[in-house]
Amino acid sequence: MTEPETPTAAFILSLIAGIIILLSGIMLLVMGTAFMSEMMGGYYLGMMGGYTGITGFISSMIAWIGVWGIICGGIILYGAYMLSSDPASHGMWGFIIIIISLASLFEGGGFLIGAILGILGGIFATIWEPVHNMTEAKK
């Protein structure tokens, strides 16, 4: 029995895109929280104190944008895993990877290269056809 074919190029591009977007999200989250703690002099005022002013707003927004990047990167990594483990649903996972890669542009898209690689990986996944289907169609 032969191994089932998988969309290898789509898997690799989506995997790299997910890693890059995840890392950029982690970087933004760390920057936002580090800026918050630096702004407060390393002292957190407690639950009701919070961070006030425009600098507190900006640093918390940077942190939340980082969380969005982590979520998008995780979904793309899961989509890449599913391309490899369940190639029969390549069209659905390719579409999901494209949509989430476009949504990751709100956090910078993994320095933009992550979003581009994700979109390409999603396109490759949706247009992928197993080789054995093409040889049977020619007969």
pLDDT at residue 35, rounded to an integer: 76
Domain positions in the chain are 8-40+53-138
Of 39, 69, 66, 68, nearest in space to 54 by CA: 39
Contact 79, 92 (CB under 8 A): no
- Residue whose token pair is 């005022």: 45
- Model pLDDT, residue 91: 96
pLDDT at 131: 82
pLDDT value of residue 110: 94
User: Which of the residues in the chain have pLDDT under 70?
Assistant: 1-3, 37-53, 133-139
The per-residue pLDDT for range 16-45, each reduced to its tens digit, is 999 999 999 999 999 988 877 666 555 555
Contact 127, 92 (CB under 8 A): no
Residue 133 has what pLDDT? Answer: 56
Rounded Cα distance between 52 and 107, Å, is 23
Rounded CA-CA distance 25/28 in Å is 5
**pLDDT at residue 55, as a whole number:** 73
The reported pLDDT for the residue numbered 50 is 54
